[in-house]
């Protein structure tokens, strides 16, 4: 199980590091024929520079996962990112929900499950 968790952590880190860098460098080409709502949404993210914040969080958390430091912190931050990614794909492009967004969710759970004791304080009803 430790090897599965390690591989999942590295893959998750690579995915977020590379796609986070793409938010800054735009090296992955935009697929042709995107729906109008997706074009409008991404144009808004780019014009307001909001994409730089989200891409920066992705790069930072991806790097933390790759080097194996502050992994619980990276997982908490990426959980919010993953919820937004799933929301985007479910509402705007449901045909692209498989494979990448679901793969990311599975990888996140594979990394988070062995560390679940670290999240006990976050999930406590009272301090």
Q: How confident is the model over 14-26, as pLDDT tens digits?
A: 999 999 999 999 9
* pLDDT over threshold 90, residue 126: no
* pLDDT over threshold 90, residue 100: yes
Q: Do the beta carbons of residue 21 and residue 55 sit within 8 Å? A: yes
Q: How would you classify residue 34: left for phi > 0, otherwise alpha for psi between -120 and 50, otherwise beta?
A: beta
What pLDDT was estimated at residue 12? Answer: 98
**pTM passes above 0.85:** yes
* pLDDT over threshold 90, residue 127: no
What pLDDT was estimated at residue 114? Answer: 97
What span, in angstroms and rounded, lies between the C-alpha atoms of 4 and 7? 5
Q: Is the peptide bond before 4 cis (omega within 30 degrees of 0)?
A: no
The larger pLDDT score, comparing residue 15 to residue 124, is at 15
**pLDDT tens-digit profile of 34-57?**
999 999 999 999 999 999 999 999
Q: Could you identify the residue written with the tokens 């679901």?
A: 102
Distance of alpha carbon 45 from the chain centroid: 16
What pLDDT was estimated at residue 123? Answer: 85
* pLDDT over threshold 80, residue 13: yes
What pLDDT was estimated at residue 47? Answer: 96
**pLDDT tens-digit profile of 67-96?**
999 999 999 999 999 999 999 999 999 999
């Amino acid at each position: 199980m430790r090897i599965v968790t390690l591989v999942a952590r590295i893959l998750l880190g690579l995915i977020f590091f590379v796609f986070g860098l793409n938010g800054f460098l735009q090296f992955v080409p935009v697929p042709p024929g995107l729906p109008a709502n997706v074009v409008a949404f991404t144009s808004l993210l780019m014009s307001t520079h909001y994409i730089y914040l989200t891409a920066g969080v992705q790069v930072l958390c991806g790097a933390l996962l790759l080097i194996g430091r502050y992994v619980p912190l990276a997982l908490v931050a990426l959980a919010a990112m993953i919820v937004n990614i799933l929301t985007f794909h479910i509402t705007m492009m449901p045909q692209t929900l498989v494979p990448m967004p679901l793969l990311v969710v599975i990888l996140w759970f594979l990394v988070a499950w062995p560390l679940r004791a670290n999240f006990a304080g976050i999930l406590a009803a009272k301090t």
